[in-house]
Chains A and B, each alone.
Chain A
């Protein structure tokens, strides 16, 4: 029978389920969140397993910080079968322990590396590409549509960068919002938070000045559209103040 194990979409639950499956020698066909629609030939199984938070520390001490972080990044990715990849990674890590990340010849390791790097890169890009608007009452507001679920990682960056500002970042793809109150940020669903989108008085002028700068700083004798696209893919342009008009 093709057993699909179901979890609640939480990282810690997923790790606990994987550990349970491995301990009991159960081979999943796949592991999916509870929004999954199984086909006729698939059997979905809900396990009620305690959500043990200590598993994070256990993984760090058994496989190392780097492996732990990479697993988390894979979890945040849009990869179709990421849960299953993490299952195989976990299985092999139990054998290789701290050395697991060196085993590039194992498919699950090279997959974890590839996917986690992708998430890491996108996060790094977004630290640069995110654009805030100033709303009334000095609130900074930004929207994005990243390929991977990086709102948490991006928010961590802006906690340090814009420490003494009120800011709000919205992921339009996943309909979630991160809100920062000068102390900490929380991530909530779109419908749980209402915000007046009215811009501050000076906003249009600053955006205008920025566009002037952007247009001026390129050297026309060196024009290189291909290079620009490579570094700043079109999929991000919709929210980038200085280029969205070119779309």
Chain B
């Protein structure tokens, strides 16, 4: 098979992995090829608007497993291909030199058994690092069930090593990925967590959950994420809206991937990691799913309107973070500025505050920006929804789904 055909097949089968980041590592180039940038760099954007930073491919799309949601499952009748290690090196190096990519994302279907597959991944990456002295970014997927010895070897070669948990609950996994065991994934996470260092998986680990293929609620998903962040110190959890590729009675018959829901989960994930929110602040048993029409932070604020409006010049950093329209950067700016002068309304925009959103929730020098009469839930909610509508890149189909 020609290289171009392999590339087509093996990029096509890797594209559903949402992970894109190339950050968190700073490998120096020395006498070899390339380095990594601690902040990560996007090199291109695909037709779906997602960032392209790494050459994202599978080593092979042959697989002995039969996960229901996956294009590469054993029972699918599709063209199969396998890269040789040299082919992967050629592509990576040539793309890298031309500045198409930050590095390589290498995953694989399982051939023969997990250990055999891992050995192939290791062989490829070993070649890239040691024969070709490649110092760019490498993100490899660990194969669940592979032995710790191999996890060790692979982790010493790459920047990021991760395993996908795929579904947030054991039940979901049993239903759709009958050959997989969640304990195999948690074993990998545990191993990487314990061994992580400047030499071993320096950019840390991440994982991915598929959204909308099973019936789990957002509460279940977010609780799982919070759990993963705490327990395994993951750098990121990625959420991947389920794209209906296979027909199966066990799978929902969606017409479109649930993209807005995916977006809400990312927003909430952000709130957990940088804004000191807890899952229980955002969701509970009575409201187990995010409001599709309003972002989670504004939604929270609307449910806690008694805490607002907050005075910009006096409230704490933590309180600033809870105000819709104020991000981490602008909150920090506000704190450092107000030590030097009193903040006026016209200064806020310059500090990066999104006034259009924040104006309902703040006082500036004791002044409420719009008419105080309008400080009520109904009015604010309606306005926020109207703005959101123009923000969400979507088609009507999707809204009807929820």
Is A69 interfacial (CB 8 A cutoff)?
Answer: no
Per-residue interface assignment for chain B, residues 316 to 352, with 1 indicating a CB less than 8 Å from any chain A CB and 0 otherwise: 0000000000000000010011011101100100110
Collect the chain B residues with CB atoms within 8 Å of residue A245's CB. Answer: none
A164 touches B31 (CB 8 A): yes
In chain B, positions 114-142 with a C-beta closer than 8 Å to chain A are: none
In chain B, positions 1-34 with a C-beta closer than 8 Å to chain A are: 3-4, 7-8, 11-12, 14-16, 28-29, 31-34
B21 CB to closest chain A CB (Å) equals 13
Q: Which of B95-103, B295-303, B305-313 contacts A (4 or more CB under 8 A)?
A: B95-103
A105-B337, A105-B344, A231-B51 given as contacts; is B99 within 8 A of A131 (CB)? yes
B69 CB to closest chain A CB (Å) equals 14
B35 touches A161 (CB 8 A): yes
Per-residue interface assignment for chain A, residues 47 to 85, with 1 indicating a CB less than 8 Å from any chain B CB and 0 otherwise: 000000000000000000000000000000000000000
Majority secondary structure, B binding face: loop
Closest to A114 in B: B350
A137 CB to closest chain B CB (Å) equals 14
Collect the chain B residues with CB atoms within 8 Å of residue A202's CB. Answer: 94
Is B76 interfacial (CB 8 A cutoff)?
Answer: no
A213 touches B98 (CB 8 A): no
A161-B29, A224-B393 given as contacts; is B48 within 8 A of A218 (CB)? yes
Partner of B393, one of A104, A213, A216, A227: A227
Closest to B136 in A: A161
A131 touches B98 (CB 8 A): yes
In chain A, positions 204-247 with a C-beta closer than 8 Å to chain B are: 206, 208-210, 212-228, 230-232, 240-243
A218 touches B41 (CB 8 A): no
B99 touches A219 (CB 8 A): no
Is B80 interfacial (CB 8 A cutoff)?
Answer: no
Docked pose: A242 CA to B43 CA in angstroms: 11
B393 touches A226 (CB 8 A): yes
Partner of A102, one of B39, B43, B337: B337
Docked pose: A161 CA to B134 CA in angstroms: 11
Collect the chain A residues with CB atoms within 8 Å of residue B4's CB. Answer: 208-209, 212
Is A110 interfacial (CB 8 A cutoff)?
Answer: yes
Is A162 interfacial (CB 8 A cutoff)?
Answer: yes
Partner of B43, one of A129, A209, A212, A226: A129
B99 touches A213 (CB 8 A): no
B255 CB to closest chain A CB (Å) equals 9
A104-B347, A228-B46 given as contacts; is B256 within 8 A of A221 (CB)? yes
In chain A, positions 136-159 with a C-beta closer than 8 Å to chain B are: 140, 142, 158
User: Which of B14, B42, B44 has the most CB atoms of chain A within a 10 A radius of its CB?
Assistant: B44
B243 touches A222 (CB 8 A): yes
Is B389 interfacial (CB 8 A cutoff)?
Answer: no
A132-B99, A134-B97 given as contacts; is B45 within 8 A of A104 (CB)? no
Is B175 interfacial (CB 8 A cutoff)?
Answer: no
A-B contact pairs, 17 of them (CB 8 A): A99-B340, A129-B44, A131-B98, A140-B98, A142-B99, A162-B99, A212-B7, A214-B52, A217-B52, A218-B15, A218-B47, A219-B50, A224-B393, A226-B393, A228-B46, A232-B44, A242-B44
- A contact residues vs B (CB 8 Å cutoff): 99, 102-105, 110, 113-114, 124, 127-134, 140, 142, 158, 160-165, 202, 206, 208-210, 212-228, 230-232, 240-243
A104-B333, A165-B97, A219-B48 known; 18 other A-B pairs, CB under 8 Å? Answer: A103-B340, A104-B350, A124-B39, A131-B99, A132-B98, A142-B99, A162-B99, A164-B33, A209-B3, A210-B100, A216-B11, A217-B52, A218-B48, A219-B15, A221-B257, A222-B49, A224-B48, A224-B49
